[in-house]
Amino acid sequence: MKFDTPAGANPIDQLKVVGQPLDRIDGPLKTTGTAPYAYERHDVAPNQAYGHVVGAGIARGRVTAMDIAAARAAAGVIAIVTTLDTPRLAKAKRNAAPLFGGAEIQHYHQAIAVVVAESFEQARAAAQLIRVSYAREPGRFDLAAAAGSAPLVGGDSEEGSGAPPEDRRGDFEGAFGAAPVRLDQTYTTPDESHAMMEPHASIAAWEGDRLTVWTSSQMIAWGKADLATTLGLPPEKVRLVSPYIGGGFGGKLFLRADAVLAALGARAAGRPVKVALTRPLVANNTTHRPATIQRIRIGAGRDGRITAIAHESTSGNLKDGKPETAVQQSKLLYAGANRLTAMRLAELDLPEGNAMRAPGEAPGLMALEIAMDEMAEKLGLDPVRFRILNDTQVDPEHPERPFSHRQLVECLSRGAERFGWSGRNPKPGERRDGRWLVGMGMAAGFRNNLLTKSAARVRLDREGIVTVETDMTDIGTGSYTIIAQTAAEMMGLPIDKVRVRLGDSDFPVSAGSGGQWGANNSTAGVYAACVKLREAVAQRLGFNSADAAFAEGMVRAGNRSAPLGQAAGEAGLVAEDGIEYGDLAKRYQQSTFAGHFVEVAVDAATGETRVRRMLAVCAAGRILNPKSARSQVIGAMTMGVGAALMEDLVVDKRLGFFVNHDLAGYEVPVHADIPHQEVIFLDEVDPVSSPMKAKGVGELGLCGVGAAIANAVYNATGIRVRDYPITLDKLL
Ligand code: MOS
């Protein structure tokens, strides 16, 4: 189904099932531990052996020798595959560097061997017996040192947050120079780890030249294509299966060493092999959110209107890696005739930087929204008022393009009212609660809504059960549930008459889970398949499909009616279709908006920051399931607390690796860190987004939170920290 005109009324609008705050249909499986993750699939292939991956102990140079004799002789060892006896594998499209093979080392903990043994413990013990000799070369590990000479580079990421190297509108320098009120500040964000609960893990099994990998992947079709490229296999010989995922946050968008080395290990061992990356390998072998240095300049008239705005971001990456698109939101969030955005990329020899939840906007807003707070203060304006004053209903770089729907002003004003913003003391450092300094802060939230094609297959059986199959994934987000809700609404069924099967490359290719595009696009694909199934049902029953109404398990047309299952016949009825987008997406800018409000208390003696209250008001199209959407947003807000106050992958600048490469050293918020969180969704349907009239929401909840906390810390203490995370040493 081609979607190229705004959606009219359709069966989803009934909202009998869609839009209801239903429990997750996979909830009982999750809470009883019966939704198996990749590493736990003991059932899928007999005689599984265990692979343990060895990572390089240098960041740059060559492996000169590997002594595997002791490991080979160790108890239980079946096979060892080393990088020296494997030719360098092809670099897949979405990897910055090849994942295995050859002597060259491009980053610390690059995989150099997999040891396969009868048990996990035997594989790990044997791996520790491998002696590796290296020729170490000096590397570049310091972003700040490399930033000065970093060239302009665009971000044409397939993940969707693309931007040209430099973009200019009007005369930024002239307007900035002439502005009566000006800000010129630099903000820094650190490297961050996805720190998902389930590490990257895969089980690989060969049947002749056919490879099946049970893995943990957000994007089945990307993983299948890239695994085929890496191993030099025709794609049709590769099957990927990933029905349950214990978190991804972007870390599982791309093929990583677990799948590749499980496949190589299984080939060498002649039996299925399972591999899970250890925590240090998750940090240093896979991807991370790269650190940024962001310079922001804003010029405004004394009336508070922005006349000039510039956002320049520098990040680092491996040679074939991409820049963090941290300027993304600054192209679209506020009005202003004279504009500049630019990205610079420094070549570093650290592990690959890539997408982590809301890549671009999440770190970009951590800078921009402090700058807006600072600018409001210079202007003597309330920060909410300053943002509202600079709202725009069109893309400021392309004024002929309106936003499909933009309720930022409503998010901010509704949030201010709900949060009691008028009670904030605009003078910092004045509100005390015993030993605590108390402050409030806010920020705008923004994340683009990306459209990408998505397909599904739906099958009706005689009992009136509908089964949906699509390679869509559920990374803990609720995909199973909203897909079931969509099919139930379309076919006139209660949700318990719908079965959903996800995460298998044998199913039609979906949008996958990334960039908060999963919910809207994957359900739109299911919608398209269900439109076809409805037509097939009507035809089977001899009903006019234009008149056929689907409700309560029955199909009615005129004065005739039949149970839905009757149309299935003995063999069942199958329909397959997908959603594809025309140029509607080019005619409208599609984005999601939020207002984030935070209250913090900072210990006047120790500098410890405690978050006391958080509120997010979100405008993100139709909310398909308010319960799972709220869970997404509060999880994202929690991630925002981590980004503001704790998370920091610390670079060892001599040896070139992330030092705190485990969950003891890499701090993320725990329950005790998180206070009352409230989420409000504005009433919104966006007929331009898809027939579902929905948009993404899972990343929006993170975008802006970090800056709202930083601004609250400033309001509490009078100390402006521009270098994340805001740890207590920066407040003393
Ligand atoms: Mo998201 S970073 O696109 O999984």
Q: What is the pLDDT of residues 289-336, one digit of tens each?
A: 999 999 999 999 999 999 999 999 999 999 999 999 999 999 999 999
Q: What is the pLDDT of residues 220-242, one digit of tens each?
A: 999 999 999 999 999 999 999 99
Cβ-contact 284, 304 below 8 angstroms? no
> Which is the closest atom of ligand 1 to the Cα of 514?
3
> Which is the closest atom of ligand 1 to the Cα of 359?
2
Q: Quote the pLDDT of residue 684.
A: 97
Q: What is the pLDDT of residues 360-400, one digit of tens each?
A: 999 999 999 999 999 999 999 999 999 999 999 999 999 99
Residue 599: strand pairing partners:
440, 613
- Region 106-125: mean pLDDT is 98
> Which is the closest atom of ligand 1 to the Cα of 355?
2
State how far the alpha carbon of 84 is from the alpha carbons of 58, 221, 375, 724, in Å: 15, 30, 56, 40
Cβ-contact 220, 191 below 8 angstroms? no
- Region 166-195: mean pLDDT is 98
What ipTM does this complex have? Answer: 0.96
**pTM reported for the whole predicted model:** 0.98
Q: For residue 218, how far is its CA from the centre of ligand 1 (angstroms)?
A: 8
What lies within 8 Å, CB to CB, of 731 at 6+ separation is 602, 607, 609, 713, 717, 719, 721
Residue 453: CB within 6 Å of ligand 1?
no
Q: Quote the pLDDT of residue 157.
A: 59
Q: Is the pLDDT of residue 158 over 90?
A: no
Q: Which domains, from first to last, does the chain contain?
A: 2-29+451-583 (3.30.365.10), 60-138+200-276 (3.30.365.10), 146-192+289-449+590-731 (3.30.365.10)
Residue 161 binned pLDDT confidence (cut-offs 50, 70, 90): low
Give percent above pLDDT 90 in the chain: 98
Residue 514: CB within 6 Å of ligand 1?
yes
Whether 699 is catalytic: yes
Residue 585 binned pLDDT confidence (cut-offs 50, 70, 90): confident
Q: For residue 253, how far is its CA from the centre of ligand 1 (angstroms)?
A: 7
Q: What is the pLDDT of residues 403-428, one digit of tens each?
A: 999 999 999 999 999 999 999 999 99
Q: What is the 3-state secondary structure (H, E, C) of 137-176?
A: CCCCCCHHHHHCCCCECCECCCCCCCECCEEEECCHHHHH
What are phi and psi for residue 250, nearest 5 degrees? Answer: 100, -20
Nearest CA to ligand 1 atom 4: 250
- Region 162-185: mean pLDDT is 96
Q: Quote the pLDDT of residue 545.
A: 87
Q: For residue 213, how far is its CA from the centre of ligand 1 (angstroms)?
A: 22
Q: Is 605 exposed, middle or buried (0-12, 13-18, 19+ CB in 10 A)?
A: exposed
- Region 655-667: mean pLDDT is 96
Token readout for 361 is: 């906007």
- Mean of all residue pLDDT scores within the chain: 97
